[in-house]
Structure 1
Amino acid sequence: METDTATQAFSALAQNARLQTVKMLVKAGPKGAAAGEIAEALGLPAPTMSFHLKELERSGLINSRKDGRRVIYAADYGGIRELIDYLLADCCGGDRRLCGPYVVIKETAA
């Protein structure tokens, strides 16, 4: 991931409604959620939600698909993973064994 792309994604996430939207869509899984459902859950007017959804989609963190007259949004797990990979690319001095696959689990002595 290029630095400009990462900056755009972080900029999109630096707003409360957008961060909450991404978290909601990650939790929803691949089925996603309709724009109206997201707006209702966050208590936002439809035009405001539409603006936020476009920004998140432009940043590569979510994607959309048509379902009849509704637009369904879902987390773009590839885009989110690229952002995480960008952050952890030089993790632990380059020794990825120390970082694990994003979560460091401390083993306890048995």
Structure 2
Amino acid sequence: MLTNIMYVTVYVTDQDRALEFYTEGLGLEKRIDVPGPDGRFLTVGVPGSPVQILLWSGTAGAPGPLILQSGDLREDFEIFRRRGVTFDEPEPVDYPFGVRIEAVDPDGNRISLRQP
């Protein structure tokens, strides 16, 4: 089943400017900063907290605003699908850092489900 809130997405127009605000202004720590297949993956977090804020460029393809971690995403996908959850793809997809799929809530909000 789901194990953690991995990331909460904040859409930004300038990742460097946002990084400066969240780290130097608010005192959060930079956690991840790597180029990815869909754009720069940049996160910050409160020291000691496992939850990370994803500073996502508004010009890149967007993940869901909430990203939840699964211990076994393919198994959870089958359970969720049987419960009537709607997904963007027919099956979870492998990506460079694990497995992912996007669920859609009743209001059309995308929820990213990931397994590292």
* TM-score between the two structures when normalised by the length of structure 2: 0.31
Q: Which has the higher strand share?
A: 2
Q: Which has the higher helix share?
A: 1
Say which one has the larger Rg. Answer: 1
* TM-score between the two structures when normalised by the length of structure 1: 0.32
